[in-house]
Structure 1
Amino acid sequence: MSAPTDGPWLDEAAGRLIRPYTVSGGRTRPTTAMDLLTLVMSTGSVPQGHLGPEHADALGLCQGPTSVAEIAAHLRLPATVTKILLSDLVDCGAISARPPDSFHNPTDRFLLEAVLDGLRRQL
């Protein structure tokens, strides 16, 4: 087996060494309602109780307002698992969650065009 990359839970040849839902303790639903555009941010409170290394990694990504989708990408976890980790952090007061500022009309043409422009710049 080759040496792990990106931390102890990834192996270059094998990929993730544990199943993603092991990270969430087998839970499939978050306790806090979130979607991919929900913005989360650290409150500065220290989480009480035992949280796994993935919780610490997620909390480290929440220094400024960050979307659930961005955090899932950085953690290399499915969005549902990421939402569960983040809802654990909301429940213990370590982060706050809110919809994005433009969420009042999620099908707003301006928002959709901005997303399309961003995607085109990436390609």
Structure 2
Amino acid sequence: VTSITLKEHLLYSHWIYGNGLMLAARLKLSVDHPVRRFLKQYYYGTATVNQDSKDALLPVSGFGHRTFSFTDESWVAFFTDLVADWEWVPLPDKLERMGLPGPLLEALPVAADGLLLWRTI
């Protein structure tokens, strides 16, 4: 549960993918670009939420550190290793790497909706 919460949810979903989507849309698409206008509803407020979560959860002795059973050194090492091990994998490849049977994979919203959005963009 700790790894899913800190790695998949906090680091990957919020700090990497959420910030990445917001930054890419804002830096590379004009204000009136239809894709940027569509995506805005999904990334609106992302920078503030992620900044606040970083300030509250990441520091040693912060809320995140106190919530999980890490020493000061292991807390820093955990996030250092996660960031060092992260690699960009396109969504179709990431889903394939999961190795799930077709019907189960197709039932996941990230596969059904995510691939539809992936192919659209």
Between Structure 1 and Structure 2, which shows a larger proportion of helix residues?
2
Who wins on radius of gyration, i.e. which is larger? 2
| TM-score where L is the length of structure 2 | 0.23
Higher relative contact order (CA 8 A, sep 6+): 1
Between Structure 1 and Structure 2, which shows a larger proportion of strand residues?
1
| TM-score where L is the length of structure 1 | 0.23
